[in-house]
Each structure stands twice: as structure tokens, then as C-alpha cells.
Amino acid sequence: MLTASARLALPDWIHAEVDAAALYPTDEARMALAVRLSALNVERGTGGPFGAAIFDAQGRLLSVGVNRVVPESSSIAHAEMMAYLLAQAATGRARLNDGHPGITLAASGQPCCMCYGATFWAGIDTLLIAASAADVMELTEFDEGPLPADWRGELRQRGITVREGIARGAARAVLAQYARGGGTHY
């Protein structure tokens, strides 16, 4: 018999560590949450060194995600994909900005080729990035996959604003900590 459903879940510690009612009014506050989630995921041994958070135009938290590839045995369980999945479930919208402009994704690492592609269809208006793909590949054994040469331009062409380097040092520190710990790289 074929499997007809699948389930992905964030680690149990998420609810204790994330204040779902808090407002995150600035890019720095939004990125601080994403990077903190990535650090907690490494410290607690619940997945890879990536965190993501999605916010509405007022800075209200819609969802969070951390990398769960190994614990969930799923190549799609990247932090961004987990955040998309959970935000879409919470809002009932496949395109998060459909009738609700101003959706922001804060990602502790530059989205890989899979997460980059999903960003178009998830309905993200602003993409905040901490560590670059070059940082990820320099500090870990992760392969971020092929991106278009002008990936920023492709996002801009689709109306997505990109801001990079927010909390880059803190995100790089999490990547380095993960690599020093001998993390599994997928």
C-alpha cells in the first residue's frame, strides 16, 4: 500500500521558546528570532543550523521553522519550508500575501535552491537574510544547490525585496558551532 499522508513537526521546545504574541517591528528583531531558533536547534540537537520566521505587515509572527531534515527523514524539512507549511496552515492561504501584503520571511541562512523557488509561490514580499550561501558553504559541508546568477534580480522582478547581512555574524557563529559539533550535513 502507498503512503497517502505525511507529517512534519517542529521540535517540542518551540512553544516554550517562542512568544507567539510578541511583535517584531524591525528587520533586526525579526532576524534575531530566526538566528536564535537556529542556535537553539543546534544546542538541543534537534536539527540543522537554520531558523526561519514569517511575519505579517504589522510584525506579528505567523510561523517559525527550524531545519528538521534528519529528524524527520525528509529532504524538504528545511527551516523556510517548515515556516511556509505552518504559516499556510495557520492562515489557510497557499499564497501568504494574497489579500494580505507585507509578508516577510527572516532566514538565518540564504535560502537554498529549493527554498528560493518556494519563496516565489509562498507569497513573500520581503526576504531578510543573515548568512550568505557562501558563508554556509564555507563553514559547513552543506551544498546550497544552483541558483540563478542574478537570483536577487529574479526576486526583485517578482516584487520581492531582499535585505542581506542582518545579524550575519551571529548566524555565521551558529554555522561554525554546528560544524565543530560534527553535524550531519544534508
The CA–CA distances, whole Å, from 179 to 34, 101, 115 equal: 19, 37, 22
- DSSP per position, 113-152: HHHHHHHHHHT-SEEEEEE-HHHHHHHSS-------TTHH
Determine whether 149 is exposed, middle or buried from the number of CB atoms within 10 Å of its CB (0-12, 13-18, 19+). exposed
Q: How far is CA 178 from CA 95, 128, 142, in A?
A: 33, 22, 11
CB-based contact 107:33 (threshold 8 Å):
no
Report the amino acid identity of residue 49: P
Spatial separation of the C-alpha atoms in residues 104 and 54, rounded to whole Å: 6
Residue from 17, 28, 43, 80 carrying the catalytic annotation: 80
Residues 129, 107 contacting (CB under 8 angstroms): yes
Is 80 designated active site? yes
Find out whether 114 and 141 touch, Cβ atoms under 8 Å.
no
**Residues designated as active site:** 80
